[in-house]
Amino acid sequence: MSGVLQEAGIKVTRENKKDIDKALHNLVNVEYKNCSPTWKEIKKLLQTEEGKKKIVKELKNLH
């Protein structure tokens, strides 16, 4: 995940951590604070280049 964050130009801070988390929940259509299903889906996305690109695109929208 750190490589994806780096590719998106994101440095995780206390200030942006919640926004990153919300963006990832939104990406996989899982209600915020429901972490286990979210990370299960994120892990699936991280297994493919297309999935990684989707995550990077979503995170770049935070800028």
32-58, pLDDT tens digit by residue? Answer: 999 999 999 999 999 999 999 999 999
Count of Cβ atoms closer than 10 Å to residue 19 Cβ? 13
Q: What percent of the chain has pLDDT over 70?
A: 100
The yes-or-no verdict on residue 14 having pLDDT over 90 is yes
The yes-or-no verdict on residue 63 having pLDDT over 90 is no
What pLDDT, on the 0 to 100 scale, is given for residue 51? 97
Q: Which residue shows structure tokens 């994806």?
A: 4
**Chain-wide mean pLDDT for the chain?**
95
Q: What is the pTM of this model?
A: 0.88
The domain segmentation of the chain, as residue ranges, is: 2-60
- For Cα atoms 26, 38, 14, give the angle at the middle one, nearest 5 degrees: 75
Token pair of 20 as six digits: 């990153």
